[in-house]
A and B are shown apart, each in its own frame.
Chain A
Amino acid sequence: MKRVLEGSDAVAEAVRLAKAEVISAYPITPQTHIVERLAEFCADGRLNARFLRVESEHSALAALIGASSMGVRTFTATSSQGLALMHELLHWASGARLPIVMADVNRALAPGWNIWADQTDSLAQRDTGWIQFYCETGQETLDTTLQAFRLAERVDLPVMVLLDAFFLSHTYEPVDIPDQEAVDRFLPPFQLRFALNIQKPFSLSQLAPPNVYMEMRRSIHEAMQQTLDEFVVVEEDFEKIFGRRHGAVEEIACEDAEIILVTSGTITSTAREVIGKLRSRGEPVGILKVKLFRPFPVALIRQSLSRAKKVAVIDRNFSFGASGIFAQEVRAALCGLPERPPVFGYVAGLGGRDVTTEAIEEIYRHTESRSSPDEESIWIGLHEVDHEAGNC
């Protein structure tokens, strides 16, 4: 059934269809619509789950660590400062191999207070052992959230589903909501391999000295590697039932492209518009949309980008003292190739500033006009700031 939904609603509908059993959350703009919808589902009986209204994001994830350890399906949603507060327990969830699913609405970190789109919150969590998916549309968000449960429970790792603040979380689009019966075929009931029980007592997450710790970490890495193949299977099964797939990465007009723009999230939609126009003028440009960020799909990225003459990565995020974070990862992925295109890194749209069609065209023109980048990161649309005058 198609309905016109916000991205936030799409997440909530997926969680309802996935029959999450314990949900725990703390309010933060712009995540609130997701958890408000879920609270309604729980209150009116459309979802049979316990909703824990905890006193912080830290406790939201802690509660799910407790619940998931007992073998029930769990979900939380947060954003920005909330995700940063969870940081310690992000490591705990993956280290304990718990298939918790979380939606994070990508929002800028303070100071100054900024509630608008920016991916630095979740990209700063890239080393925590969570699988990360960056979504572009409402439909993709719903589908990915359903897939996230299936994938998490296959590889025993937590999954973060990312959606851009407002551009996706609060934007209404037609979204196909699958039937419960079809979802049940796709997503079997959850069974944790090592759920605690009183018949056969054991301890979880206890003291792990140097003689065992390293192997534990290695097994998380192996599960991450396995995720790359497992996600293909999940998408195949999903496509059989629902007739859709989105891919770990998506190539858009890349076959003969000389310049490939690398995008993630909703900037991709704007870029689609731009390359449509450029292509109609005969300009050889394509897009590689990167949806799966952890594990980073190095082989797919190499395959798509090694043919291009130049690569332009657009980052709505930044690692201070380094560069845009997708640009870093793309450079690292390509550096092992004997022949590789130069990678231009563009930083745009931090803190919710619009990344317009004009901005993306500017990025394309800038890349086209140079044989190699003059600097590590090129910031797009920066205003002149007069610090002496105390204003900008």
Chain B
Amino acid sequence: MKLEIVDHDYMHPGHVGCPGCGAAIAMRFVLKALEEKTVMVIPACCWSIIAGPYPQSTLQIPVIHTAFETGGAVASGVRAALDMNGDTETTVVTWAGDGGTFDIGFQALSGAVERNENFMYICYDNEAYMNTGVQRSSSTPYGAWTTTTPNREWKRMRKKNIVEALAAHRIPYVATASIAYPEDLVRKVKKARAMKGSRFIHIYATCPTGWRMPSEMAVKIARMAVQTNIFPLYEVEDGLHYTLNFTPKGYLVKEYFHLQGRFKHLAESDLDQIQKMVDEDWELLQRKASVFV
């Protein structure tokens, strides 16, 4: 398969992420797809640190760092100002973690996309508050250890389905993407860039530090999440039209779970239950995809 990703990088070398940081890989590919005409809004998240301290920055585009829960709102203001200045071409992108998207920033995000603000919101999802030391978020999956769900208190709630929540707003474009599938990721960001209105992309961005796994596993684990249907790759247009981008090879979830320290406490019976949950979700998704073909 031919790689259709530009060579040029919009990141300087020297970001301060952990080794194997999925969020850094995600940013690199997203910027390749967005190119120069971009203003980025970064609410509090790992990337508030990864970009580097004043006066340095690893990012070669204009960036506004902002408060945790403001990703949707600050981007709305940036868009309004650009429009008032006659610049309707520049893409406004919010780049937020799962805490800033699923939890504290959900209200502002919902408000912005309900208004169908003309911007792109990208959530890089590492499934917990990693920057503050691995605390659970509503994106943390069922079964996971975190520092606030330790030992026997491992998380027994499902991960919030943010993609369906956004699709329910009937915005033009919602998609999932993964750092293990860069061509698919770049294609989706480019597709979103060419659209108007609110666009949401959910990127699976592994975190070796928080997931308790070796850094060289970052991409492999992301690939397995797709192959096991734990994180299916798909697109939803106008909240109605589903496209599944990847046909799974039938890997079992336990192969994915066994490789990560955050799940090591789970018994076989727990994994059986998780397999059932993943199978149900996949079936539901397939049915949705068949409603409007």
Binding site for B on A (CB under 8 A): 21-22, 24, 49-50, 52-56, 58-60, 62-72, 74, 88-89, 92, 196-198, 201-209, 212
Contacts and interface: CB of A to CB of B under 8 A. Distances in A.
Contacts of B49: 207
Interface stretch (B103-111, B215-223, B241-249, B275-283): B103-111
Nearest to B49: A207
B81 A22 contact: yes
A59 B73 contact: yes
Contacts of B210: none
Given A198-B37, A198-B61, A63 B76 contact: yes
B70 A58 contact: yes
Given A54-B73, A89-B67, A201 B81 contact: no
B54 A70 contact: no
B52 A66 contact: no
A92 B78 contact: no
B57 A203 contact: yes
Interface string B240-264: 0000000000000000000000000
A203 B47 CA distance: 13
A67 B73 CA distance: 10
A198 B75 contact: no
B139 to A, nearest CB: 21
A60 B73 CA distance: 7
B168 interface: no
B77 A63 contact: yes
A207 B55 CA distance: 9
A54 B111 contact: yes
A202 B40 CA distance: 11
A207 B77 contact: no
Contacts of A89: 67, 70
A88 B69 CA distance: 10
5 contacts: A24-B80, A65-B64, A66-B74, A70-B81, A206-B65
B106 to A, nearest CB: 11
B185 interface: no
Interface of B: 36-39, 41, 48-49, 51-55, 57, 59-67, 69-70, 72-85, 90, 107-108, 110-112, 114-115
Contact of A207 (B53, B73, B85, B114): B53
Contact of B63 (A204, A208, A209): A204
A68 B63 CA distance: 14
Contacts of B74: 62-63, 65-66
Contacts of B108: 54-56, 58-59, 62
A31 B55 CA distance: 40
Given A55-B108, A55-B110, A196-B39, A205 B65 contact: yes
Contacts of A50: 80, 83-84
Contacts of B110: 55
A206 B57 contact: yes
Contacts of B80: 22, 24, 50, 52, 63, 66-67, 72
Contacts of B55: 212
A92 B81 contact: no
B234 to A, nearest CB: 28
Nearest to B74: A66
B62 A203 contact: yes
A206 B61 CA distance: 13
Contacts of B51: 203, 206-207
A79 B38 CA distance: 35
A198 B65 contact: no
A55 B113 CA distance: 11
